[in-house]
Amino acid sequence: MANNPLSMLQIRRILQLLSDGRSVRMIHRECKVHRNTIKAYVVRFQQTGNSYAELAALPDAKLSSVVYSPRSSQTADKRFQQLEPRLQYYGQQLKLLGVTKQLLWEEYLKEQPDGYRYAQFSLHLKHYMAAQPQATMAQSHAPGERLEIDFAGKPLQYFDRESNEWVTCPVLVCTFPFSSMGYVEPLASSRQEHLIPALNRALEYFGGVPKIILSDNMAQVVVKSCRYEPVFTELIEQWALHYHTTMKATRVSRPKDKPSVEKTVHLSYQQIYARQRNETATSLSTLKFRTRQLLEEFNDRLMPQYGLSRRQRFEEGEKSALQALPETAFQLKHEAMATVKKSYHVILGEDWHQYSVPYQYIGKRVKLIYDESVVEIFLDFQRIALHQRTLLRNGYTTKPEHMPESHRRYRLHQGWSPGDFIWKAAAIGAHTETVMQRMLDSRSFIEQTYDACLGVLRLKDRYGADRLEAACGIALPHPTVGYRMLKNMLENNRDKLPVFEQDKMLHLPTHDNIRGKEAYY
């Protein structure tokens, strides 16, 4: 008999032919069924004690129970008999945070040392989980009613040249479920002072405010999670009041409560993240700019199921349903007190980054007022410093005008190289270039000559390039040359003397007390 059972239509045709007295050979020719198969069915028909006509009159369900014998199976595996009652428990445990199949299998072996190996255990558990019915409810969304927000599971990053390290940036994602219009922005951090301004920009991007903003139970938004009455942070409540909207939170660990933004996160990996995989941003601003470009392309891309882009669906059917934006955006400012250290810097403890103030205020108690992008430093209601906020931990932001003169000179020297001095000297003239090279070569540690070289270059500002070039030409015949020599020449106007006078000054005068070479043998 063939492995596959005959269809009910074939069974009834065979019964009809048998009832008409046809032979097995004839039935084989007409129904194209193997003779041994027909014989096997004839045996089953006869075992029932009913005639062919009576069997043909039975309904399909009854007839199938007669003619379809159950498949033979091996003796039930005792290991499965022991495992089967526990599958429901293992399925429930697998949903808990951190619980894995490997962990459950190890616990199973402790109870059943002779049980299944890991592969077979996983297979049985997989089949059990797949057999459990899981229904999802279709949802309809009113235009402009709800905006879903979330942080993407994967961050973006840029390379900071100053610190020579990669900086990771959490990514805020917002979506309107009705139109699927999205907003994606990388942030300096996921803290409130960066999240709130980003939400401001998201609403500005959409051009309106929804009635409800739905988030998960992120700590920046929810103080105490609860399915029915979650408690939101005071700051987010103030923000929602300013924009005349209502905050809502999903159930804990229920991502399906905000499926639209979860879908947008997944699509952003494909349409925004993947397109930047071979690009290297060097600052947060450039990373944001590139992300915004890709976001515009994402929202303008045609959605085949609708025949429209996300932006078209939003503009045509949702934007008009949004509430108007308030006249001003929500302003988030923080205050902190600090004492100006001897290094004329104050530290912003939240970021562990230090900002400079004029050195005259060393030891003073000052107030720092800062937001997402700016740090202002006040003393007695007078602003004494203004900086762009930087999140580089243990870093320094220093303005040259805040430094003492000696510190500025030292820092200036740190930025010089021998090539810089030669290049600037060559711009003055060939003699100056030669003098500069000799000065740089005069010390074992070339950095020790930087002060003198810088002094020579500054002589040009006081006496002019032509006079400095002339003085260097006069100094070249001397065995040593330096800043003091050139300065004295310029102060005494030696570069202005006629050539024969300069030659005369380079030779020692005749004197009775001076012996010549004849005195030495």
pTM value is 0.50
CB within 8 Å of 235: residues ≥ 6 apart? 192, 196, 332
Does the structure show a pLDDT above 50 at 49?
A: yes
- DSSP class per residue in 13-53: HHHHHHHTT--HHHHHHHH---HHHHHHHHHHHHHTT--HH
**CA neighbours closer than 13 Å in the CB half-sphere of residue 399:** 13
Q: In b/e form, how buried is each residue of 46-73, taking b as 16+ CB within 10 angstroms? A: eeeeeebeebbebeeeebeeebeeeeee
- pLDDT digit string (tens) for 329-373? 888 777 889 999 888 899 998 888 889 999 999 999 999 988 877
The residue among 414 and 223 whose pLDDT is bigger is: 223
How confident is the model at residue 96, as a pLDDT? 78
Give 133's pLDDT tier (boundaries 50, 70, 90): low
Q: Are 334 and 193 in contact (CB under 8 A)?
A: yes
Give the neighbor-by-neighbor strand order of the sheet with 182-186. Answer: 182-186, 171-175, 146-151, 212-215, 246-249
How confident is the model at residue 272, as a pLDDT? 93
Q: Are 27 and 33 in contact (CB under 8 A)?
A: yes
Lowest mean pLDDT among 187-201, 324-338, 448-462, 495-509: 495-509
The whole-angstrom separation of Cα 21 and Cα 518 is 155
CB within 8 Å of 377: residues ≥ 6 apart? 346, 355, 357, 366, 367, 368, 383, 384, 385, 386, 387
Does the structure show a pLDDT above 50 at 511?
A: yes
**Cα 208 → chain centroid:** 27
Average pLDDT over residues 215-234: 84
How confident is the model at residue 11, as a pLDDT? 83
Give 518's pLDDT tier (boundaries 50, 70, 90): low
- pLDDT digit string (tens) for 149-199? 999 999 999 998 878 889 999 999 999 999 999 999 999 999 888 899 999
**In a 10 Å sphere around its CB, with 0-12 CB exposed, 13-18 middle and 19+ buried, how is residue 161 labelled?**
exposed
The DSSP element (H or E) to which 420 belongs, if any, is: helix 418-428
Q: Are 490 and 471 in contact (CB under 8 A)?
A: yes
Of 232, 223, 249, 277, nearest in space to 150 by CA? 249
The whole-angstrom separation of Cα 206 and Cα 146 is 12
Average pLDDT over residues 310-327: 92
Hey, which residues does 157 pair with through a beta bridge?
168
How confident is the model at residue 480, as a pLDDT? 86
Give the angle 78-83-89 at the CA atoms, nearest 5°: 165
The whole-angstrom separation of Cα 354 and Cα 350 is 11
